[in-house]
């Protein structure tokens, strides 16, 4: 079985969003919709309960 690797462009996005709050701001700018349209998958991790609720409401984001 081969080992999965992230494409280079995925590493760029991981570097951009060091904090999950950036993803919430990106949603406000419709950036998440454009990323999904381009075929990207968006994952988010947080230990902040109110922020987790907000992330769960963003269409296409896997919290």
DSSP string covering 6-57 = --HHHHHHHHH-SSHHHHHHHHHTTHHHHHHHTT--EE---S-HHHHHHHHT
Domain that holds residue 29: 8-62
Res 15: pLDDT? 44
- Supply the pLDDT for residue 22: 61
Residue 3 lies in a domain: no
Query: Cβ(55)–Cβ(24) under 8 Å?
Result: yes
Within a domain: 24: yes
pLDDT at 2 over 70: no
Q: Is 2 part of any domain? A: no
- At 21-56, the pLDDT tens digits run 566 666 666 777 777 788 777 777 777 788 778 777
Per the domain annotation, does 1 fall within a domain?
Answer: no
Give the model's confidence band at 5: pLDDT under 50 very low, under 70 low, under 90 confident, else very high: low
Q: How many domains does the chain have?
A: 1
Higher pLDDT, 62 or 17: 62
């Amino acid at each position: 079985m081969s080992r999965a690797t992230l494409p280079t462009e995925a590493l760029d996005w991981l570097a951009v969003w060091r904090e999950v709050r950036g993803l919430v701001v990106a949603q406000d700018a419709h950036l998440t919709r454009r990323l999904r349209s381009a075929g990207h998958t968006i994952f988010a991790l947080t230990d902040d309960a109110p922020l987790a609720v907000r992330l769960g409401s963003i269409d296409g984001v896997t919290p």
